[in-house]
Each structure stands twice: as structure tokens, then as C-alpha cells.
Copies of this chain bind each other. A is one copy, B any other.
């Protein structure tokens, strides 16, 4: 028997995404969001949602660019801190000792120490309600060489990305590999 929980954002997992931007004066800032993901394969696009009150919102409106990092276990405290503190009152790079690097193709900084980052150019801005959704075209994905697996893709075991359950606010590691998409369902197709 199903029980109504009301109109709640209990969807899971969400990714844990660290957004890099410059402000009008060129100060680098980073902020963590859980409302985001991939929204198009061609052109490859990432969507992120932000409240208007955030420093990052202003920066994206100003610069039309941002970076998106996958938060990983070795930097879980830093990633969480980036979602608590505001770039308006602190320099989050100084506070964490992490290193801002100018992105290659867009006017935004990325964190040198984070293993996987996407450089994004703003494509669409959608006003939804409390959150504004920014859709950015992925111009490039950059990865630490030692995080590339033999198959040429990011090595999930080594990189240790975070997953998030918004309801209970828990960060999770990835667990076991359960199967291949577009393959294990074929057993049903053949019935």
C-alpha cells in the first residue's frame, strides 16, 4: 500500500557538483549543488539549479560561464564547506588551501586538486521558482591522467565520486557494480 508523502524532492541519488565561477572583479569562487545533472547528449549539456541569493548566481549571469566538478571522497569536507559558506563573505580557496586554475575555454576557474571537471558555456537560463536553472554546454571535460582507466573512461574505483540522498542529507560512496545498461534488460526482451 502506497502512502502519500506530499510534494517532496525525495529523488535519489543526486550527484554532488562543485560549481566554479569568477565574480565581476575576477575573484574565483566555488559552490556545491545537488540539483543538477546531464540534460542533453548533443550538444552535451549540464544543468544546475541555484537560488538567486547565491554569489554563484550573480557570477554566472555576469560571465555566462561556469565549471562543474565531480565531488570525490578525499575532498568531501571541502565540497560540503563549499555548500555552506558564501563567496560573498569568504575566499573559499584560501579557506581550504585549494588552487584555482583559469579554465582553458571559458571564463571560469576550476579546482586543480579535483580530478574531473567540465568547462561550460551558458546556453539557457530558466526561471522555475526558488531556483533558477542554468543549462551550460560542455565545451571540454578535463581529468587527472592517473584517473583514466584502461578503457579510456574515468576510473570510478579510483576517483571515488560522491552520491547524495537529499531527503536525509547523507553523502554516499558508490557501491557494487550491478550490471550493464542496455544489456541486462535484454533478457526480458527475449522472453
Contact = CB atoms under 8 A, between A and B. Distances in A.
Contacts of A6: 140-141
Contacts of A53: none
B11 A13 contact: no
B84 A11 contact: no
A9 B39 CA distance: 9
Nearest to A176: B173
Given A128-B123, A142-B4, A47 B47 contact: yes
Interface string A36-59: 111111111111010000000000
A18 to B, nearest CB: 12
A126 B129 contact: no
B5 A142 contact: yes
A77 interface: yes
Contact of A45 (B44, B123, B129): B129
A10 B84 contact: no
Given A85-B189, A167-B154, A130 B40 contact: yes
A164 B177 CA distance: 9
A175 to B, nearest CB: 4
A78 interface: yes
Given A76-B179, A84-B182, A141-B5, A12 B156 contact: yes
A96 interface: yes
26 contacts: A1-B144, A2-B144, A4-B141, A4-B142, A5-B140, A5-B142, A7-B140, A11-B118, A13-B15, A38-B49, A39-B131, A40-B133, A42-B130, A43-B128, A77-B184, A78-B188, A80-B179, A81-B188, A83-B181, A83-B185, A84-B185, A95-B189, A153-B168, A162-B178, A170-B177, A173-B176
